[in-house]
């Protein structure tokens, strides 16, 4: 159990680090998936101790992640069509 939680933490930190550091939208996107799955791993690990609830939550997270992937990828594709790049540094129009 401890091992699973440690792996989960390491995965989450890697994911967060990726989101903060990388500029490629697709890589950032993958990193978010990594964070989600790190959480999933933690859920599964905890469900061994406190019952089945954690595993049920994992399914919810996977559903939301699938939906998010579909929407996110669609946005990235449309951005790419417009700018011909997926570097998020170029997308800073949405401010005051």
| Candidate residues 1, 2, 20, 82; the one interacting with other proteins per rule CB under 8 A | 20
Nearest distance from C-beta of residue 20 to other proteins, angstroms: 5
Residues near other proteins (CB under 8 A), total = 13
Q: How far apart are CA 73 and CA 56, in angstroms?
A: 26
Taking CB under 8 A as the criterion, which residues in 69-88 touch other proteins? 88
Q: SS3 letters for 8-62?
A: HHHHHHHHHHHHHHCCEHHHHHHHHHHHHHHHHHHHHHHHHHHCCHHHHHHHHHH
Q: Is 23 in the site for other proteins (CB under 8 A)?
A: yes
Q: Which two tokens stand for residue 43?
A: 């859920």
| Candidate residues 11, 12, 28, 43; the one interacting with other proteins per rule CB under 8 A | 28
Q: Residue 56 or residue 73: which is nearer to other proteins going by CB?
A: 73
Instruction: Count CB atoms within 10 A of the CB of residue 78.
Output: 10
Give me the residues that bind other proteins (CB under 8 A), please. 16, 19-20, 23, 28, 88-89, 91-96
């Amino acid at each position: 159990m401890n091992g699973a939680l440690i792996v989960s933490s390491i995965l989450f930190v890697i994911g967060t680090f990726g989101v903060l550091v990388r500029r490629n939208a697709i890589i950032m996107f993958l990193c978010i998936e990594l964070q989600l799955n790190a959480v999933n791993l933690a859920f599964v690990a905890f469900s061994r101790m406190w019952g089945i609830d954690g595993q049920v939550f994992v399914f919810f997270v996977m559903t939301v992640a699938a939906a998010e992937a579909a929407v996110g990828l669609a946005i990235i594709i449309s951005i790419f069509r417009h700018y011909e790049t997926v570097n998020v540094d170029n997308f800073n129009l949405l401010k005051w």
